Structure 1
Amino acid sequence: MIASLLIAFAAGAASALMFASIISGALISLLLFYLAPLPLMVAALGWGPVTAAIGGIAAGTSLGLLFGMPYLAAFVFTVALPAWWLGHLALLGRPVTAEVPGVNGAAATPPVVEWYPVGRILLWTAGFAAFTTMGALLTLGTDGDTIVSALRRALTRILGSRGGAGDSEQVINALVTIAPAAAAIVAIMTLTLNLWLAGRIIVTSGRLNRPWPELKSAALPPMTMVALCLAVALSFMGGLIGIFSQIFTSALMMAYALTGFAALHTLTMGMKSRVMVLGLTYAMVLVLGWPILTMVGLGLADAFFGFRQRFLARKPPSSTAA
């Protein structure tokens, strides 16, 4: 118990320091800010969600006392709550009994645990990314025009002194349009990366109380497609509904992009040039950015047509491992 409390306070202190480092304005502080959920996720996966909750409460309280309530609220809803809940879901499992013949014909039920699906964890991550982005925008105003005006003023202060007036106006208009969606994309990517890093750290330490999940089999629930279609339709509306729908659309599309990467890892199994194909794909996405749309398309196509299931059904059992 004492050890868990020490881990909780240490994780909370590290997370709070990383979160508060953004105040310095240094470039490295941006990286630390995005990695702020990592210590709490490590605590959740290695020592349990309760440990992460204690650390998050302690960190949030400290930030509130030092910097005020806005920092406390921002930390709790963007760092502590996602870290605790995603860590809880990653360790969530239920026993599944499978009858097998036992001694003297009696049935024996070996302990089998069905873990919370990775695809549903990914959907929760997209939800957190969307809601935290919407919460951040609501601090700028409570209607679409006010939010757009606030974003325009902020971007004008940053870019107003660069280039000609006409060029700056066009750039600012474009950035105001894509800023909410881009913020949601950054949020889901950083949350996903933090959870993956936390899992790898705990696996290395030997404290992960579940098998490492089969990430290339991750699939979103079928109703996600319905939610995406609804979000796309509502994104053409104006005002607050249109902005929030664009945020949901971008978050869900990034979730499908991640399942597209999972499909690519599956479909390239057995290829001699698999490493080169995967490396080139990741490099193009990181450097150019726009090829991520290909992964979105692959994820959507896989959800419609079940490419991975068909591929694995054709493969011999010995070659489906890994």
Structure 2
Amino acid sequence: RNLEAELEDSRFPDVSSDDQVHDARRLKPRDQVLHFLNELGWLFQKAAACTPSIESDVSDSELIQFSTARFRHLLLFSNERDWCSLTKTLLEVLSKRSLVSEELSQETLEMLSEIHLLNRAVKRKSSHMVHLLVQFVVICPDNSKLYPFLPNYPGPGGLTPLHLAASIDDAEDIVDALTDDPQQIGLSCWHSVLDDEGISPEVYAKFRNNGSYNELVARKLVDRKNSQVTIVLNKGEIHMDQPENAGANNSSGIQALEIRSCSQCAILESGLLRRPMRSRGLLARPYIHSMLAIAAVCVCVCVFMRALLRFNSGRTFKWERLDFGPT
């Protein structure tokens, strides 16, 4: 549905080739959308035919016909629109294709290093896309793991995703995602990786008055060193230790977290950090009930006084005519 507005009154050429991929930027936005959908449909059709669960004569070699340049176009189109699920699916198909030969594997890595998907996601402050790329892993035939999107991979000017995140305002979630990679490279390189000018992400954060980023990294380094978890509540910290060895008598296998005795924990136990109760206002309920009762009596009296009263004489009596006598 995100593409419906761009699909109206569009034209699309009948042939799909690598030449059109290179000329995709010259097409109109609507034509680019249709070109993307056509390429995506062709790829998914071939990828579905190559799955082991489907009996087909199509082998993995059919995916080789889908060139690396066409994969590049699909990845850029999906990444720029923050389509995380589609980007993950494309990367999985691309990794399966790259395992066919060593030449394709090298060509794929070169293409990914050129388009800098992680840098693009950091610039857009897309935390979900950053987390997806940092956590993405390729299982090689020898059961080794390959992480193609590293937080310390240098881009133009030697700027890594860590440098870009440190220079952006209100990007604590981006810094948190970059320093939470499985290999903990981002956390270790925050102070050491340098750009072409010899400046680290830590210094970038100081120059941009983003000291909270350095505090976040320092807190995570302390947590990793002490094997603990830090929870921040109202600018206060509560440390929770994680025991490395579970007790032998723990049949459920769940390791309990031992809360360190500190002033913050005492405050929590006393209930001072609980959700405050709603204010009752200036008047308590009994006073409000009394005022409502008095107001109801006054309304009834006013209605009675304004009504037309008849006496035994048969004449109509009105309070407005009391000073003037009978009519």
Q: TM-score range by the shorter chain?
A: under 0.3
Higher relative contact order (CA 8 A, sep 6+): 1
| Larger Rg, first or second structure (1 or 2) | 2
Q: Report which of the two has the higher share of helix.
A: 1
Relative to the length of structure 2, the TM-score reads 0.27
